Amino acid sequence: MSEVETGIDYGPLAVLIGVWEGDRGEDIAPEPDGEEHNPYYETIVFDAVGDVTNAESQTLVALHYRQVVKRKSDDKVFHHETGYWLWDAGNGTIMHSLTIPRAVALLAGGKSHKDGNATVFEVQAKWGDPDWGITQSPFMRDNAKTTAFTHTITVTGDELSYRETTMLEIYGRSFEHTDKNILTRLG
């Protein structure tokens, strides 16, 4: 697998490849006594990194992505995320692995479908799910546990919008941590 591999059929993932920017981000995050709303802007880079064969029978194609998110109020990075989007053409499964520097990682699974000109990706993961699970440090498990994650991305031409919900157990309650944005592909 080389750094950036073209000449491969990336299937539905092909529409994601490129550099995307958007400044209409809306984050809702937990606070001890309520919630905070953070307008943000961000860059997401999806690189085509090739294919892999698993157990000599499953072939996956992969995009690597890196997402850097800055708060509008102070221009500081307040969310950083990386992982892979994978497509298993054999059974039409989309997989999304991600890790964030809070000591949380997950592997979400789902499908993609066409909706007119749009390609829609929908994946989810749940704590304890044997298929699409969540892994976190003991501290996070005990104090700020991620219990479920859903993520929908819609790509229409050079516009990408997403909405994700991260369910947390934090400050003695259940909290719906949400993020959404609309991005444009740079030429």
Residues near ligand HEM (CB under 6 A) are 27, 29-30, 38, 40, 69, 78-79, 100, 102, 104, 106, 140, 144, 146, 149, 164, 166, 168, 170, 177, 179
Between 29 and 60, name the residue whose CB sits nearer to ligand HEM.
Answer: 29
Q: First and final CA of the chain: distance in angstroms?
A: 26
Least Cβ distance, residue 69 to ligand HEM (angstroms): 5
Between 51 and 141, name the residue whose CB sits nearer to ligand HEM.
Answer: 141
Task: Tell me which residue has its CB nearest to ligand HEM.
Answer: 29
Give CA–CA dist 153/161, Å, rounded.
Answer: 6
Least Cβ distance, residue 175 to ligand HEM (angstroms): 8
Give CA–CA dist 115/105, Å, rounded.
Answer: 30
In terms of DSSP H, where are the helices of 8-136? Answer: none
Between 25 and 50, name the residue whose CB sits nearer to ligand HEM.
Answer: 25
Least Cβ distance, residue 111 to ligand HEM (angstroms): 20
Which of 122, 121, 149, 145 has the alpha carbon at shortest distance from 133? 149
Least Cβ distance, residue 149 to ligand HEM (angstroms): 5
Between 119 and 146, name the residue whose CB sits nearer to ligand HEM.
Answer: 146
CA distances from 147 to 116, 162, 175, 185 (A): 33, 20, 10, 32
Between 93 and 178, name the residue whose CB sits nearer to ligand HEM.
Answer: 178
CA 83 to chain centre: 8
Give CA–CA dist 80/25, Å, rounded.
Answer: 14
